[in-house]
Structure 1
Amino acid sequence: MNFPADSNQRGETLVGLLVGLSLGLLVLTGGAHMLAQLLHGHRLALQDSHLQQDLHFAMDLMASELQDAQYSAKSWNTRSPDTCTDAFCDGPEDFGLGNGRIDWTLDRNHNGAQDNDECTGFRLKAGALQVRTACSPEVWTALTDTASLRMTRLEASLRCQRREQWLQRHVLLQLEAQWPQEPARTLLLERTVVLRNDLPPVAQALYCP
């Protein structure tokens, strides 16, 4: 059986197909761009999170160690408002701030004597934060990996004030780091650490310049 041709039915023209294809590609390109932006933002957020975690870990460790600076188990017998004669407050090596470095001693084994492993501190060296583990010769161990985190600044400033008959000290720590692949992205942490071991005022000239 033959059906009469419908003269009103027409196929899609080549121009229409090309226009539709172009619009589809445009939408696809826009979607791909948005996805790339989302992935980039997610990557930056992860990097920032890792940077903050590593930097906070380093700052927490420094503050925890620093608050016990110049501790001596026998300070009750060697320190008074007029004197400080124990091995942890008898010289400039027992506490000092320098360029990208901070050092101090503390009585880790509570015997009142200064052993070779009771000199500690932190410094920046070639983009890494290092911790000191021996007095002489000095031994330093890296705490951070420069491949994933580059430390750019370590600064410490000391403030001393009289409290009754003793000298109370506060240290303002500043620690800054950046991503090695993106130096423009940095993070700076600040923390004030109160030193637990007060010193007699006679030690002010030695430890509070």
Structure 2
Amino acid sequence: MLAMVNLLLGLTLGLSLLAAASTWAALQWRSDRLIVQRSQTQQELRALMDTLVHDIRRAQFQGDPQNLQISPHQLLFTVNRNDNTLRDNNECSGFRLNGNLLQTQTSCQPVVWTSLNDSRSFQVLALKFQWECDTESSSQGDLLLIEVQTQASQEPIPTTWQRHVRMRNVHARMRPTTTTCTSAA
């Protein structure tokens, strides 16, 4: 009888330890999966911002003020890709927010917009472009503030990303007269 009690006690203790280990493994797996998802989303957002910065740095290469149009939620510009001083169909570029998708313009006529993000991974809630006055370095080009607010699918709180881009080919004398700037802080 004592052997039977010891056997049941050992079996209960073993099953309890097995259940605890299984629960711990499941929690660890869930936590690891969440970390990988967050890392992947962070990398996608970083790549998105890098794409914006890289392309905007090339903006206004042709130097015509009418080829640069900045509104708070859209930026249109030209890039001279083949050095022929003519605006070819593939030299129109830009960025805009369309719903929850950040899009880039890839041609002039017809105007073609291509999405840069997958809304299943994250959504772009807001896109903002703002000139910043930088009187200290006017010979190096003007500063443009890019602000992107995103909401990852697995995150409850939105994230705001900000980057400053020095537009070396755009100076105050070339900036469209309809645009204003805020003081750089």
- Indicate whether the TM-score tops 0.5: yes
Matches within 5 A, 1:166-185: 168-180=141-153, 182-184=154-156
Matched residues in 2 for 1:41 and 1:165: separation? 49
Deviation of the 1:46 alpha carbon: 0.7
SS in 2 for 1:45: helix
| 1:100-179 equivalence runs, <5 A | 101-162=74-135, 168-179=141-152
- Choose from 3, 25, 36 the match for 1:12: 3
Query: Is residue 169 of structure 2 the alignment partner of residue 197 of structure 1?
Result: yes
RMSD (Å), alpha carbons = 2.7
1:72-96 Cα shifts (integer Å, max 9, x gaps): 2xx5xxxxxxxxxxxx21x2x5221
Unaligned runs of at least 5 residues, structure 1: 1-9, 76-87
Bigger mean CA deviation after superposition, 45-54 or 149-158: 149-158
Q: Deviations over 1:80-127 (max 9, x none)?
A: xxxxxxxx21x2x5221233x222223222222223332211122232
Deviation at 1:154, TM superposition (A): 2.1
Name the residue aligned to 1:58.
48
Aligned residues: 181
How far has the Cα of 1:140 moved from its partner? 0.1
Structure 2 length as normaliser, TM-score? 0.81
In 2: Cα distance, 1:176 partner to 1:164 partner: 28
Distance 2:138 2:51 in 1: 30
Residues 156 and 172 of structure 1 are in contact (CA less than 8 Å); yes or no, is this contact kept in structure 2?
Answer: yes
The structure number with the bigger radius of gyration is 1
> Equivalent residue for 1:98?
72
Q: Shift in Å at residue 159 of structure 1? A: 0.7
Structure 2 vs 1, CA of residues 202 and 28 (structure 1 numbering), >3 Å: closer, same or farther? closer
**Alpha-carbon separation, structure 1, partners of 2:137 and 2:14:** 79
Deviations 1:1-38, CA, capped at 9 Å, x for gaps: xxxxxxxxx74144x43333322222222111111111
Aligned residue for 1:184, secondary structure, equals coil
Q: TM-score, normalised by structure 1?
A: 0.73
Q: Work out the CA distance in 1 between the residues paired with 2:129 and 2:162.
A: 10
- In structure 1, what is the Cα distance between the partners aligned to 2:28 and 2:137? 58
- Aligned pair in 2 of structure 1 residues 39, 164: CA closer, same or farther (>3 Å)? closer
Q: CA deviation at 1:52?
A: 1.4
Q: Deviations over 1:174-197 (max 9, x none)?
A: 2233333x2515444321111111
Is the CA contact 1:161–1:167 (under 8 Å) kept in the aligned structure 2?
no
Q: 1:165 to 1:19 in 2, by over 3 A?
A: closer
SS of the counterpart of 1:117?
helix
SS of the residue aligned with 2:141? strand
